[in-house]
Amino acid sequence: MKVLTVVSHPRKNSLTFAVAERFEQGLKDAGHESEIVDLHGIGFDPVLREADEPDWSKIEQKYSPEVEREIARMKKHDALAYIFPLWWYSMPAMLRGYIEKVWNYGFAYGTSKLHHERVLWLTLAGATAKDLEKRSYDKMIEHYQNVGLANYAGIMNSKVAYLYDTLSPNPKHIQSLLDQAYQYGYNYAKF
C-alpha cells in the first residue's frame, strides 16, 4: 500500500515529528511505501483564498497551483495518515486549512470522492484518556474526523488513534508513545 503521511507541527524537533518517523518506519517494515509531507516545511498556505473557493455551479474546477500539486500528490497514494497535536480539541489550523483547501469540491466531495482505502488520524494529546473522556471530547473528535471528514469524502475506513499524556517528563512514557506510533505504522493495514 502507498501511504501519504501528512504532518502538522511547526517544529521539526517536536515529539510529533519523532512520532511520524517511528510511524513511517513501522509502515516500511510492514512492506508499505510511504511519503511524508511536512506542511510547515513545504510552506503550505492554509488560508482559503478566492482561487481555492469551491464553485458548486461548475462540474470541473481548477484550483491554485499549490492545491493542484497537493491533489496530484494525494492521487498517487492508496491510503492516508495525518499526524498532529491536539490543540483546542481539534487539529492545528495548518492542517485544518490543508483539508479545507485540498479536500475540495470535485476531488473529495461533490462530483467526486476520495479513492483512498483508509485514513488514520494519529493525534498527540497532552491530556490523559480520562481527560478526553470527560465531556465526551474523545467522541466529538472521533465523530468529526471519522464521519464529518473521512466518510463524507468517501473513506469508510477511518480511525482516530490517540497518543496520550504527551507532555509527560517521564522518558519511559515518551518511549512507549514512540513504540505505539511504530505499531500503528506496522499494523496500518489491519485497522
What is the per-residue DSSP string for 78-100? SEEEEEEE-BTTB--HHHHHHHH
- The count of domains in the chain is 1
Cell of residue 185, nine digits: 505504522
Cell of residue 113, nine digits: 470522492
The reported pLDDT for the residue numbered 111 is 87
Q: What is the CATH number of the domain that holds 78?
A: 3.40.50.360
Q: 72 is in which domain, residue-wise?
A: 2-190
The reported pLDDT for the residue numbered 71 is 98
The reported pLDDT for the residue numbered 56 is 86
Conformation bin of residue 65: beta by default, left when phi > 0, alpha when psi is -120 to 50: alpha
Q: pLDDT of the chain along its 191 residues, tens only? A: 999 999 999 999 999 999 999 999 999 999 999 999 999 999 999 999 999 999 888 878 899 999 999 999 999 999 999 999 999 999 999 999 999 999 999 999 998 999 999 999 999 999 999 999 998 999 999 999 999 999 999 999 999 999 999 999 999 999 999 999 999 999 999 98
The reported pLDDT for the residue numbered 122 is 98
The reported pLDDT for the residue numbered 58 is 84
pTM of the model: 0.96
The reported pLDDT for the residue numbered 57 is 86
